[in-house]
Every structure is written in C-alpha cells, then in structure tokens.
Amino acid sequence: MHKSFPIISCLSSLIINRIMTICVRHSYNTNDYNACYRKREYLTSFEEKCIAQFLSVINNPTPKILDVGCGSGKPYDQFLLSKNCQLVGVDISKKQIELARLNAPSAKYININFLRYNTSEKFDGVIMLYSLFHVSREYHRSFLEKIYSMLNDGGKVLLNVRKEDNLLKFRHDFCGKSMFWSHYDYKTFKKILRETGFKFEFLGDEKNSGSSESHVWLLLHKKN
Ligand SMILES: C[S@@+](CC[C@H](N)C(=O)[O-])C[C@H]1O[C@@H](n2cnc3c(N)ncnc32)[C@H](O)[C@@H]1O
C-alpha cells in the first residue's frame, strides 16, 4: 500500500496490530463467546477425525502439545488430555485462562500474548484453532516461524484458517462485544507456510460437514 514509504507501512502495521491486540484481549475478557460457541464438551465427528489424524502422526504416546490461543480449554484441551497428552495452553485473555484452569486442571496455562511467550521447552505438536485470524495478518508469518522454532524435529501442527482475503474485518456485535479479524487468502497463506518450512496436508473444510461456517483445517509437518 505504501511501497514508497516503508516507515509509514511499518508504523501502520504496528498500530493496526496494537489496536487489534487491545480489542481482542478486552473482548475475550468480557464477551459471551463461551456461552455462544463453547458450551459443548464433545467434539463434532469432523473435529474428532482431524484431531485423531494429528495425534496419529505424532510419534509419542504421551506427546507434549502446545495450544496457541487455547481459550477456555473446552472442548479441545479436554479431549487431548483424555488422550494422554501433556498440555500447555497460551492465551492473551485472562478470563479464558481462568476458565481453562477450571475446565482442564491438569494442563499448564499461561496468560500471555503468544508473540511474547518465551520458553526453551520444545513440543511434539501444536494446535492453533480459531485464533490466528485475531492477529493482524502482517504477524501471521511471525506466529508460524515461532511455532516452527518451538517444535521438535518432525513436529506437527493442527490449525484452521479462513480462505478469503481480509485485511481487517470489524464487527461491533460479536458475542456482545467488538471484534477484529485479519487473514490472507488461502493461496498466500499456503505460500507463507512453505516459506516457513512446513509441509502441509488439507484435512477438510468444516462447512462440508454441516457447520454454518467455513474454516479449512490443515495438518502441518516440520521437516526433520
Ligand atoms: C475464537 S477463540 C478460540 C479459542 C480456542 N482455540 C477454541 O477454539 O475454543 C480465540 C482465542 O485466541 C486468543 N488469542 C487471540 N490473539 C492471541 C494472541 N496474540 N496470543 C494468545 N492468544 C490469543 C483469544 O483470547 C481467544 O481466547
């Protein structure tokens, strides 16, 4: 947009990301997301199939899994714990982390912006479900690079994304509060995945299994 003014472009990305971060954190601290979307403790058959595929390619019966943007831990972390995973969840919202500690007490939860999370711990797998699109898309590459660096060799990632191009979408009434989304079109996102070093497999689009929304689920492989 500002090809001849890289400083302006950089500043506008920083400002957009800052505004999004503040809004998203506030929203998940105060909105009705859990009552609207996360009451259930079970997985849909589509979700169960995707998670089973993710676990089946991890070569460890008690894998260490990181959940990025874990929310309340319900239902995904609860399911992973029931499958003998050792779980660490990271979320920017204090309320979501408090709920997760109640819903999945044997996991370890950290209330922090994932981009600021520093650890020497390595993981066999990472899940990032319905969370990347709440981060300004200029930072999606940084998210993926960070995840890549936190994985053991051959580590796996299960994530879902939207396919359409969206520089910045705003709704004032998402579960009763304001909310932002930002994402690249699918082709650009796949290019970023390749450049980060991931191989990837398409697992399915939840729309084709009865969901009213369309999120594409992908399985990523870190090269050995
Ligand atoms: C739509 S919710 C999904 C929660 C959970 N993954 C699930 O599917 O139940 C998105 C979550 O991502 C979290 N999130 C957004 N940006 C984040 C960031 N930069 N670092 C950590 N968590 C973030 C939000 O606080 C929120 O809990």
Q: Which residue is listed with tokens 């939840």?
A: 206
Residue 56: inside a domain: yes
Q: Which of helix, strand or coil describes residue 123? A: strand
Measured between alpha carbons, how far is 184 from 192 in angstroms, rounded to an integer?
10
CA 93 to ligand 1 centroid distance, Å: 8
Question: What is the identity of the amino acid at 42?
Answer: Y
Residue 155 lies in a domain: yes
Q: How far apart are CA 181 and CA 97, in angstroms?
A: 21
Q: Is the pLDDT of residue 1 over 60?
A: no
Q: Quote the pLDDT of residue 127.
A: 99
Least confident of 103-107, 116-120, 211-215: 211-215
Q: Is 207 helix (H, G, I), strand (E, B) or coil?
A: helix
Looking at the domain assignment, is residue 19 inside a domain? yes
Residues 65-103: pLDDT tens digits?
999 999 999 999 999 999 999 999 999 999 999 999 999
Q: What is the CATH number of the domain that holds 44?
A: 3.40.50.150
Interval 121-139 mean pLDDT: 97
Q: What is the pLDDT of residues 45-68, one digit of tens each?
A: 999 999 999 999 999 999 999 999
The runs of H, that is alpha helices, within the chain are 6-30, 33-37, 45-56, 76-82, 94-103, 140-150, 186-196
Give residue 13's pLDDT.
Answer: 84
pLDDT higher than 90, residue 3: no
The residue with tokens 């711990």 is 121
Q: Whose CA is nearest to atom 14 of ligand 1?
A: 69
pLDDT in tens, 18-43: 999 999 999 999 999 999 999 998 99
Between 211 and 201, where is the model more confident? 201
Split into its structural domains, the chain has a count of 1
Q: Establish if 1 belongs to a structural domain.
A: no
Average pLDDT, whole number, for the chain? 95
Give the binding-site residues of ligand 1, using a 6 Å CB cut-off.
Answer: 24, 28, 38, 69-71, 76, 90-93, 96, 113-115, 129-131, 134-135
Residues 133-189: pLDDT tens digits?
999 999 999 999 999 999 999 999 999 999 999 999 999 999 999 999 999 999 999
- Give, to the nearest 10 degrees, the angle between helix 6-30 and helix 94-103: 50
Answer yes or no: is 100 within a domain: yes
Ligand 1, atom 7, lies closest to the CA of: 71
pLDDT at 4 over 80: no
Q: Is the pLDDT of residue 125 over 90?
A: yes
In this prediction, residue 223 carries a pLDDT of 84
Which domain does 143 fall in, by range?
6-222
Q: CA-to-CA distance for 89 and 108, rounded, in angstroms? A: 6
For residue 150, the tally of other CB atoms under 10 A from its CB is: 20
